[in-house]
Amino acid sequence: MTLDQLSGLDISGLRRLARTTPRPDAAAPEGEGQVAAISYLRVSTKDQATRNGLEEGLSISAQREAAQRKAEQLGAVIIKEFIEPDESAKTAQRRALQEMLDYATTHPVRYCIINKVDRLARNRLDDAMIHAALRDANISLVSVTENIDETPSGMLMHGILASMAEFYSLNLAQEVLKGMTQKAAIGGTPTKAPLGYLNVRTTDARGRESREIQVDPERADLVRFAFTAYATGDWSLSRLAKELTARGLTTRPTPSQPAKPVTTTGLHKILTNPYYQGTVTFRGVTYDGTHEPLVDAETWLRAQTNLDANNARGERPQKYDHYLKGTLYCACGAKLMIERPRDKTGDRYEYFTCSGRRRKTTNCTRSAILAERAEAEIERTYQRNSLSPTQAAQVRKVLNDVFDQLEGSSEDERKLLTAQRDKLEAERLKLVQAHYADAIPLDLLKSEQDRIRASLDQINTRIDNLTDTYAEARTGLDRLTELLVDLDDLYNKCEQPNDASSTAPCSPASPSTTKRTPPTHPTRPPPASLPTPASTPRPKSPQKQNCPAIRRGKFRFSHLTWSIGDSNP
């Protein structure tokens, strides 16, 4: 009889099974004149099971020897033992325990020998049901170190020991949780450190052991690169995971698992873990950690913003590659998608088509735009939007005046932000103290901590920005205005990317000197006639769509509009 079969027993059924009844002797093992017995051996942790380099550790061997001695005292021989090398007794769903109960129902056994009652169960209900299952099979439960038998006093002792075992388990769990919570509150790490850190045990001169978190010299720089790269917005999770694998980032090896490359899912867990910015989250509550952060708050926030944006629009691998892919929008507001149909001779022709018309999300009637035509129009658009030298000088003068005003007013703003930060820090400390005093519930503490943390991140980022001088910004302004004078020349000097997931020709901060060469195709008209701008009907109620903003290191053309055949932007 298994524990699943006993789940329907009521209290009266358990009492009937607990009555003292005569038990027939079990058949003697073959070749022996003694009765049969089985033993159940268990340790709670893997460390106990493998201590001293032994396959079964020290505890299992000691329990086996004690069980053998007890069997000799009973005039029995152990015909089978069941070993649980790494299982808690808080639950009865243990492999060796279930095997023992199944064995007891099909073999003639007189005794079940255990080292202590808590080896069998640390839950009173499980203990009663296991004991009832053994009694139903006419098997007496024998403890090596405790006096339990079928007499009323023995059964009373058994019940007391089972209650003490349950109390020990529950109290230990509560004390461990209390210690872990206190460790998190002072900034420690109560759990295993994430990838990029190491849990290290150290011993001082007096022999006292301490556990601390250290930066993993093998993986920390790669984790920093992951945050910095994803914060730019130029990487997808899948591309970044492949890049990290190429650079050698792997998971930590364990005794049962070798080191493996970080998957896309694993990378997402890394990028969403606030531990890397210096905070510790335990049971939903966030604390300031004492470990070394791998990323600053600004990089962390940019990475989270990009993760949220990618989650909203979804990332999918692109089928066809084109350096303008993902940057062009139709007049109806929908994105233009690249297509490469094949003709009868096998040649491919690239066209941009309206995704709104294809998916029927708008009433756009524009059929297709030859890719070469779109490329030429983009180049002309850059040429039309270039600044003259006089305009560039005027832009520099206006923005330099703005920088002068910002530098003059930054000190007052810095003082105000510092006062706000001190107020929020004090408020957060009061919240934690109120929670320890049971004055506020846990869910309220979590929500308030989230609010305060978001405000502090914004304030700290603003203070850092105010602390910086504007010299670098002025230098960058001069460089950018030089580029804006001749945009079409910069555009033509950019390299065409080979990566299918890239959506822009190049970075305006460091243009390549290699001439961009648009792909050449056989001359062929579009598969459908292209209506003139005047004959193209505008949608009656166009779908509202927010085009992506201009990102650092990319050209985005969503703010540049034109009509094919029109000379004005």
Q: Where residue 73 sits, what CATH number does that domain have? A: 3.40.50.1390
Residues 280 and 139 occupy one common structural domain: no
- Which one of 313, 331, 355 terminates a domain? 313
Identify whether the C-beta of residue 275 lies closer than 8 Å to the C-beta of residue 281: yes
The answer to the question of residue 101 being in a domain is yes
Residue 11 lies in a domain: yes
* Helical spans, DSSP H, in 88-236: 95-106, 117-120, 124-136, 152-185, 220-231
For residues 230 and 131, state if they share a domain: no
On whether residue 308 sits in a domain, the answer given is yes
Say if residue 242 is in the same domain as residue 162: no
DSSP per position, 40-108: EEE-SSHHHHTGGG-SSHHHHHHHHHHHHHHHHHHTEEEEEEEEESS--TT-S--HHHHHHHHHHHHS-
Q: Establish whether 44 is a catalytic residue.
A: yes
Residues 158 and 38 grouped into a single domain: yes
Query: Do 147 and 28 lie in a common domain?
Result: yes
> Are residue 222 and residue 163 in the same domain, yes or no?
no
Q: Residues 6 or more apart from 262 whose CB is under 8 A from it?
A: 195, 241, 244, 245, 249, 250, 251, 270
- Domain end (from 249, 282, 313): 313
Please provide the size of the chain in residues. 569
Q: Look at the chain and report how many structural domains it folds into.
A: 3
Predicted pLDDT at 91: 59
Interatomic CA distance for residues 158 and 124, integer angstroms: 10
Please give the backbone phi and psi of residue 417, each rounded to the nearest 5 degrees, phi first. -65, -35
Q: What is the pLDDT along the chain (569 residues), one digit of tens a residue?
A: 444 444 444 444 444 444 433 344 444 554 455 689 999 998 765 554 444 444 444 578 888 999 999 999 888 999 998 988 766 655 567 788 889 888 988 888 999 999 888 888 888 888 888 888 888 888 888 888 888 877 788 888 888 888 888 888 888 888 888 888 888 888 888 889 999 999 888 887 787 888 888 999 999 999 999 999 999 888 889 999 999 999 899 998 887 788 899 999 999 999 999 999 989 888 888 888 889 999 998 999 999 988 887 765 445 544 566 777 778 888 888 888 888 887 778 788 788 888 888 888 888 888 788 888 888 888 888 888 888 888 888 888 888 888 877 777 777 778 888 888 898 988 888 888 888 888 888 888 888 888 888 888 888 888 877 766 677 777 888 888 888 887 877 777 775 554 433 333 343 333 333 334 444 444 333 333 333 333 334 333 334 333 333 333 333 344 444 444 333 33
Residue span of the structural domain in which 16 resides: 3-171
145 and 89 fall within a common domain: yes
**Tokens linked to 494:** 């950019």
Half-sphere exposure of 57 (CA within 13 A, CB side): 18
Active site residue: 44, 59, 140, 386, which one? 44
Predicted pLDDT of residue 32? 52
CB 165 within 8 A of CB 175: no
Asked whether residue 71 falls in the same domain as residue 166, the answer is yes
| Coil vs helix vs strand at 348 | strand
The CA distance from 197 to 179, in Å, is: 22
Residue 376 resides in a domain: no
**270 is a domain residue:** yes
Q: Please tell me whether residues 49 and 167 are part of one structural domain.
A: yes
Q: What is the pLDDT of residue 275?
A: 92
Residue 41 shares a structural domain with residue 156: yes
* Residue 450 placed within a domain: yes
Quick one: 145 and 222 in the same domain?
A: no
Query: Is residue 462 in a domain?
Result: yes
For β-strands 351-354 and 336-339, DSSP reports them as antiparallel
Q: Which of 483, 515, 543 is the last residue of a domain?
A: 483
Structural domain contains residue 193: no
Task: Say which DSSP state 361 is in.
Answer: S
Going from the C-alpha of 421 to that of each of 187, 223, 443, 452, the distances in angstroms are 19, 29, 23, 10
Q: What pLDDT, on a 0 to 100 scale, did the predictor assign at position 569?
A: 36
Verify that 160 and 22 share a domain, yes or no: yes
Find where tokens 């959506």 sit: 503
